[in-house]
Amino acid sequence: MIEQVEEFLQKSFSHFLIDQDKKNSNIPHFYIKPEGIVPIIQALKEHKTLAFQFLNDLTAVDWLGTNISTRFEVLYLLKSPKNQHFQIQLRVPVEEGDSVPSITSIFKGANWPEREVYDLFGIEFLNHPYMERILLPDNFVGYPLRKDYPLEGPGQDYLIENLLEIHTKEDITEGI
Amino acid sequence: MYEKTQAHFESKFKKLPEGHILVNLGPSHPATHGILQNVIQLDGERIVDSESVIGYVHRCFEKLGERYDYNQFLVCTDRMNYVSTPMNNIGWILAVESLMKIEVPDRVTYVRMIIAELSRIMDHIVCVGILGVDIGAFSGFLHLFHQRENIYQILEKLTGARLTTTFCRVGGMERDIYPEFEAEVKLLCKMLRPALKEFNTLLIRNKIFNERTAGIGGISQEDAISYGYTGPNLRATGVDWDVRKDKPYMFYDRVDFDIPVGEDGSVLHRTLVRMEEMEQSIRIVEQLINKFPSGAYHADMPNIFLPEKNRVYNNMEELIYHFKIIMHGIKVPAGEHYFATEAANGELGFYIVSQGEKTPWRVHVRRPCFWYYQSFPDLIRGGLLADSVATMSSLNVIAGELDC
């Protein structure tokens, strides 16, 4: 199955493919340029034998601080129910500030997941019908799932480990 | 959040036609079961348009998952779908175990499967029971909730908690089952069948219920697939996808069960599918409990599974392992893994990116609710306001899972 997908992508969309080392993953994956994601998903969905009809998952990963040069990757998980529910993953490397074309015109269900990625990672999707925050309030500052966003929220730049020290140095007699 | 919704709806519904009104259902409303807000534009009693606002119980578990180690994240999965917590635990632990390629003893898998199926029954009881309550039938709910309480008591004896079970551990279970477990599960199965039958006569075969739910809130197969529906809501449209059959995990390929499908995806068919799924779950549990294997309740991997307390206090090796696991966590190889299980609401997938450290680099949860709830405005458009309540109940949207 994976050979057929690879052959199909190489034949029709070789100019959109990025040649990059494969990850150690349980799902076969391909690296795609952002501008190629809409035609490729459209073609995979409408292909008679491959028939990747189901968008299984849509998310992103932040690679800040690793040896991977591109900051983010948007991950699309597609499933082909006709072929024993075979799954492939399309990975779109994105730099900070870049945007990715939306696939809501192909899969209606991509609407909220794309908004979620925008909300938590700050990756914008072009031609999305309603690109706004979904889980967090509109006046929220920052994108929580980015690696440079502290777990405790902004404004508290100390680590939990330093808390003990901060508290021991506190003058509790102050104000008495 | 409130400021957002106010400003947003003022701009969206600025030019309301004469006679149209805006109704704010939620975020805390008796008919929503959870913190879900829907702003509905009404023309008389007909729904013209609506907008769902979510995020009221967002805790960003995916961020917490980057700080917690693999066993600690278990408590977050408890709080996702809080109606059937053990299934989330099992989904997460199976994802970690398949990433680490751990083989657990048969006994562990048997207990996990039994608990998973009992939780599925629990979840479906809540869904169909509350649906009845929402449209004015209280008795069916009361009768069936007695059985749910029995399942909760088994869970309580097994794990010490009713809601936040935190049941599994990487490589096994928290503890072995209690001695009366088998007898109690057998008795439960014996009592569940008549209870479901009674519920069928009380509510499902009731003429008013049928007329009230047939044909409303329906969705076509193509739309359901396009929206990413999974689970009973997808099967109600006639698509027979089930992760338990498509990509069998645990021992689902060794047990005999059927996948019920509906026809038009309406509220009635969702309910019927859930009723039949409960029967099938009882079937699975009965097959498992009759050939329950003996053996250990965890894999023999001292570097992963915490040793028993009395041995920690008396043996040096066990003390070292205990210290190493608590302080350094378990070693997970670098790699990426997507593992999906069939939870009560549909495909619950955990996507783990590991860099070989104590904590995952990234955790993503594919929540079934999040995918199908976005179609809610489409489902209720053109219908009556009272039907939207029934549609919401039959979808079984769990706020904790939706917002994650």
What pLDDT does B1 receive?
A: 44
Mean of the per-residue pLDDT values of chain B: 88
Complex ipTM > 0.85: yes
- Asked if pLDDT for residue B6 goes beyond 70, the answer is no
Distance (Å) from the alpha carbon of A136 to chain B's nearest alpha carbon: 6
- Asked if pLDDT for residue A155 goes beyond 70, the answer is no
CB A109 to CB B227 under 8 A?
Answer: yes
Cα angle for residues A76, B259, A28 (degrees, 5° grid) = 25
What pLDDT does B118 receive?
A: 93
B402: closest chain A residue by CA = A135
Distance (Å) from the alpha carbon of A15 to chain B's nearest alpha carbon: 26
| pLDDT category of residue B89 using cuts at 50, 70 and 90 | very high
Residues B311-364 pLDDT 10s: 898 889 999 999 988 888 888 899 999 999 999 999 999 999 999 888 999 999
Instruction: Please confirm whether the linkage preceding B194 is cis (ω < 30° from 0).
Output: no
> How many of the other CB atoms lie within 10 Å of CB of A64?
11
> How many of the other CB atoms lie within 10 Å of CB of B270?
30
Rounded-to-integer distance, Cα B83 and Cα B111, Å: 19
In total, the C-beta contacts within 8 angstroms joining chain A to chain B are 108
Contacts of B60 in chain A (CB under 8 A): 120, 135, 144-145
- Asked if pLDDT for residue B286 goes beyond 70, the answer is yes
Residues A20-36 pLDDT 10s: 888 888 999 999 999 99
- Asked if pLDDT for residue A174 goes beyond 90, the answer is no
C-alpha atoms less than 13 angstroms from C-alpha of B310 in its C-beta half-sphere:
0
- Asked if pLDDT for residue A96 goes beyond 60, the answer is yes
Residues B198-236 pLDDT 10s: 999 888 888 988 998 888 888 999 999 999 999 999 999
Rounded-to-integer distance, Cα B277 and Cα B261, Å: 9
| pLDDT category of residue B183 using cuts at 50, 70 and 90 | very high
Q: Are B281 and B260 in contact (CB under 8 A)?
A: no
- Helix, strand and coil content of chain A, in percent to the nearest 5, comes to 30, 25, 50
| pLDDT category of residue A148 using cuts at 50, 70 and 90 | confident
Over range A55-61, report the average pLDDT. 93
* Nearest-by-Cβ selection for A111 from B223, B337, B374: B374
What pLDDT does B7 receive?
A: 66
Name the percent of chain B lying above pLDDT 90: 45
What pLDDT does A160 receive?
A: 55
* Nearest-by-Cβ selection for B366 from A57, A61, A134: A57
A83: closest chain B residue by CA = B246
Over range A92-120, report the average pLDDT. 92
Is B161 an interface residue toward A (CB < 8 Å)? Answer: no
What pLDDT does B41 receive?
A: 87
Q: Work out the angle between the directed axes of helices B139-159 and B106-134 (0-180°, nearest 10).
A: 150
What pLDDT does A164 receive?
A: 58
* Nearest-by-Cβ selection for A136 from B58, B227, B370: B58
Name the percent of chain A lying above pLDDT 90: 46
